[in-house]
Amino acid sequence: MCGIAGIMTRDGSPPADSIIKSFASALAHRGPDGVGSYCLVDTAMVQTRLAIIDLQSGDQPLFLNSDDDRAPLALVANGEIYNYIELKQQIAGADYKTNSDCEPPLYLYRQHGIEFAEHLRGMYAIAIHDPANNRLVLSRDPFGIKPLYYGATHDGFVFSSEFQAFRKAGICSAKIRPEARDSLLQMQFTSGAETLLQGVYRVLPGETLVVEQGEIIKRLLLGALPSGPRPRSLQTTALAQLDQVLMDSVGVHQRSDVPYGMFLSGGIDSSAILALMARLNPDPVQAYTIGFSGTDARDEREHARMVAKACGADHHEVDFSEQDFWDLLPEIVAVMDDPAADYAVLPTYKLAAEVHRAGLKVVLSGEGGDELFAGYGRYRRAMRPILLGGRKMRLSGALDGMGLLRAQGTSWRAAYDAAAVDIPTSYSRLQRAQAHDCADWLPNDLLTKLDRCLMAHGVEGRVPFLDPKVADFAFNLADRLKIRSGRGKWLLRKWLDKHLPEAQAFSKKRGFTVPVGEWIAKKAQTLGPLVARQPGIDDACHPGAVRDLFLSLPVRANKKHNKAAWYLLYYALWHNSHICGVNSTGGILDSLQPQ
């Protein structure tokens, strides 16, 4: 796991050394174990390394010499190629110089050209400079587990693992895209290729870009989900297949030369991962659970404790307090350059700090289980015909009908709706809903949260459910094996009930909650006027309505008002940090004071 960045100039001139140094500094937190850089003619690249596999010889850039004395291929990568052992056995004529998991992609590129990513199993953002063909190739894994951004300047084409590196290098504007900002305020994340900043774009999940002379000349797209129907299994057969698929995925996701652990919520997904890790590891699994003492929120630690005991795990319990909320939120928002107002950033960030403190560099997490096995209630609604209560996902926004936003209408939904355009019509209603989430919500909210919160502490997050073999199996399950008797993830529950009955797989799904509304309400009288006068809020909202919302919280607080207050507070702090440059070392109230 690392940070990568680079530039290709338009006119063929050598890139300025100061840009690469600035990129390396901005991405240092992603790679505390070393820095490697590369510059040849019009292209320069840098990697900051978090050493996970091949600690001795795996430094990047990695190179592959040509057969005709031309300049070698050069690669920098962020991520893990889980099938690197198999690839090294399969690729004929390869003369490997390292034990790195990222060396096989160079040989695959030499054999298959820009279609090399079709052979990779893993999470990755890869940049390859091909000087013989005067091209730069960027590729991102199909689920978008690892981030990759790009932009065009008057000097050339730039890319980076985090777009805050562009801002710190002085090659990106601070202009907000209003539609993306309103999308963040309405549904807690932004959609599509365009980010919140004008001129900064995401390499889409599964996308490979070819760049020549600072211009994108070709795009390829590799899907994360199977595109056509395949034979579907009976329940008894499917359970056996699921066991094999999950064991294989968790097994390869444990490939590491450094200590690893896992995040345990006690829910279906993390409990399944723990059960599999316990089966695969001779030593107790290091499991970390967070809870919220002294609040009305459901505390997961007791149930997680029971699950951990059943698996013989070494269980670590962490408390996230009200004071943590007031102290840490500005710090957390500062690492979320691509913002996702998901309140799960709070516990994820603190868990990552605890894992780092314990000396672990890798954690496995359960993201993707709900999307692939159909765990969300919104999927059940999407399956129903409209006359029977069915409705589209995210049909309304969090701030609708509250008189808060200056801009009315639904333009904030345009990018989100566009993500559904290419979903195959052969999919069932349920599969279409799942595919939509996999294309947009998953990479732009859940995986962005996991990446930034963990990488801020030099920890790599791995997600075994988001594996091509798991996806190929799970997505093509019959709807009745995903949802039955009003419960989602039915087959996964059956599997867990068999292998870890202590997890209570068929108990009612209670969801994960962080008591942000409860905490905000306690200081709403002070927060309201402060949030209302922030420049980012004033641009987007009617300040008077914002102030009134906060002032009303202790009197008539409800879920909708709490969510709105949380989104507004999050965006106010984000705008102050990433646009106005406000220091994030103080707590919430300090960060909102006039500068």
Please give the share of the chain, as a percent, with pLDDT higher than 70.
97
CB-CB contact of 309 with 315 (8 Å): yes
Fold of 2-221: Glutamine Phosphoribosylpyrophosphate, subunit 1, domain 1 (3.60.20)
For residue range 59-70, what is the model confidence (pLDDT) as tens digits? 999 999 877 667
**pLDDT confidence bin for 246, thresholds 50/70/90:** very high
- pLDDT for 529: 97
**pLDDT confidence bin for 387, thresholds 50/70/90:** low
Please compute the mean of the pLDDT values over residues 519-534 and round it to a whole number.
96
**Helices and strands (DSSP H and E) totals, the chain:** 24, 17
Please compute the mean of the pLDDT values over residues 80-91 and round it to a whole number.
95
Domains 2-221 and 235-399+409-503 share a fold: no
Q: Which one, of 423, 78, 28, 408, lies nearest residue 224 by Cα?
A: 423
pLDDT over 90 (residue 7): yes
- pLDDT for 153: 87
The residue ranges of DSSP E strands in 90-141, in sequence order, are 122-130, 135-140
End-to-end CA, the chain: 36
Sheet containing 362-364: order of strands = 314-319, 286-291, 260-263, 362-364, 460-462
For residue range 362-376, what is the model confidence (pLDDT) as tens digits? 999 999 999 999 999
pLDDT over 70 (residue 416): yes
For residue range 19-76, what is the model confidence (pLDDT) as tens digits? 999 999 999 999 999 999 999 999 999 999 999 998 888 899 999 987 766 789 999 9
Please compute the mean of the pLDDT values over residues 196-214 and round it to a whole number.
97
Which element (helix H / strand E) includes 106? helix 104-112
- pLDDT for 392: 79
How many whole angstroms separate alpha carbon 465 and alpha carbon 377? 19
CB-CB contact of 135 with 7 (8 Å): no
Please give the share of the chain, as a percent, with pLDDT higher than 90.
84
For residue range 490-499, what is the model confidence (pLDDT) as tens digits? 999 999 999 9
- pLDDT for 68: 66
Number of Cβ within 10 Å of residue 132's Cβ equals 12
- Per the model's pLDDT, the better-predicted residue between 334 and 65 turns out to be 334
For residue range 146-167, what is the model confidence (pLDDT) as tens digits? 999 999 988 899 999 999 999 9
Helix (H, G, I), strand (E, B) or coil at 285: coil
How many whole angstroms separate alpha carbon 114 and alpha carbon 334? 35
pLDDT over 70 (residue 228): no
Sheet containing 62-64: order of strands = 62-64, 73-81, 122-130, 135-140, 207-212, 215-221
CB-CB contact of 12 with 24 (8 Å): no
Q: Which one, of 289, 258, 242, 316, lies nearest residue 464 by Cα?
A: 242
DSSP string, 174-228: --B-HHHHHHHHHHSS--SSB-SBTTEEEPPTTEEEEEETTEEEEEEE--SS-SS
- pLDDT for 66: 78
Please compute the mean of the pLDDT values over residues 86-93 and round it to a whole number.
91
Which of 47-56, 402-411, 562-571 has the highest mean predicted lDDT (pLDDT)? 562-571
For residue range 310-323, what is the model confidence (pLDDT) as tens digits? 999 999 999 999 99
How many whole angstroms separate alpha carbon 5 and alpha carbon 166? 9
pLDDT over 90 (residue 337): yes
CB-CB contact of 9 with 44 (8 Å): no
- pLDDT for 210: 98
Please compute the mean of the pLDDT values over residues 425-447 and round it to a whole number.
95
- pLDDT for 460: 97
- pLDDT for 208: 98
Q: Which CATH class is domain 235-399+409-503?
A: alpha beta
Q: Which one, of 524, 536, 530, 542, lies nearest residue 576 by Cα?
A: 536
- Bridge partner list, 73: 64
- pLDDT for 75: 98
**pLDDT confidence bin for 230, thresholds 50/70/90:** low
| Average model confidence (pLDDT) across the chain | 94
- pTM over 0.75? The answer is yes
- pLDDT for 389: 63
For residue range 449-489, what is the model confidence (pLDDT) as tens digits? 999 999 999 999 999 999 999 999 999 999 999 999 889 99
- pLDDT for 509: 62
- pLDDT for 233: 67
CB-CB contact of 256 with 52 (8 Å): yes
Please compute the mean of the pLDDT values over residues 512-526 and round it to a whole number.
92
- pLDDT for 511: 63
How many whole angstroms separate alpha carbon 23 and alpha carbon 251? 34
Alpha helices by DSSP H, listed for 441-558, are 447-455, 468-475, 479-482, 490-499, 516-522, 524-532, 535-540, 543-556
How many whole angstroms separate alpha carbon 83 and alpha carbon 93? 18
- pLDDT for 173: 83
Domains of the chain, by residue range, sit at 2-221, 235-399+409-503, 516-592
pLDDT over 90 (residue 513): no
Taken as a whole, the chain contains a residue count of 595
Please compute the mean of the pLDDT values over residues 251-272 and round it to a whole number.
96
How many whole angstroms separate alpha carbon 278 and alpha carbon 366? 15
Number of Cβ within 10 Å of residue 445's Cβ equals 23
- pLDDT for 282: 96
Please compute the mean of the pLDDT values over residues 74-96 and round it to a whole number.
94
